[in-house]
Amino acid sequence: MDNVKYMEKAISLAKKSKEPIQCGAVIVKDGQIIAEAFNTQHDDYDVTAHAEMHALRKAGKFLQQKNLGNATVYCTCEPCSMCSSALIYARVNTIYYGMPIANIDHDSKRIKITVEDIARRAPRHTKVIGKFLYDKCCELYKERLEKTAKLTQTKFWQPLSGKLLSRKKQTSVASLL
Ligand SMILES: [Zn+2]
């Protein structure tokens, strides 16, 4: 199934990221990958250097136009409010994402609005399909959580499956963002 293939590609891209929260994004149009990216905020000293933003810029350059038409984007994690808005401004047709941000973001560092909320308020229809390849995407963040668990404060964290970390080791990923 192509959707699975594209999300798996996004997962493989995410693994290239050096960020505490690794994200990958792929943009597909007319059955062709036109952009692929992973996040680089810390390396680039750029809060906008999310995977989706990189992918949007690459897709625009590839097509030589800012509107991406009936493109579909695949994101390992739910796009944040910035990326969700940008994707909708770029007129992507469909957004697939793996893990909801709420799974790892429990404090107030982010603007608390979901991609579904933003899509609902948009002037044109954008289809949003969440929790796609959910387990595989969560696995991506589980690896990072396990690596950083020793370095972080014990703080409430909503476990993805209840098995990723013991209650005592639940950690704040948001503090690493
Ligand atoms: Zn973002």
Q: pLDDT category, 147, cuts 50, 70, 90? A: low
Give the Cα separation of 160 and 157 in Å (integer): 9
Query: From ligand 1's centre to the CA of 161, what distance in Å?
Result: 24
pLDDT tens column, 26-75: 999 999 999 999 999 999 999 999 999 999 999 999 999 999 989 999 99
3-class DSSP state for residue 30? coil
Please enumerate in sequence order all residues whose Cβ is within 8 A of that of 71, keeping only pairs 6 or more positions apart, or say none: 27, 28, 29, 34, 59, 90, 91, 92, 93
Neighbours of ion ligand 1 (CB under 5 A): 50, 80, 83
pTM of the full predicted structure?
0.81
Query: Ligand 1 centre from 128 Cα, in Å?
Result: 15
Sign of CA dihedral 9, 12, 17, 20: positive
Measured CA to CA, the distance from residue 107 to residue 59 in angstroms comes to: 32
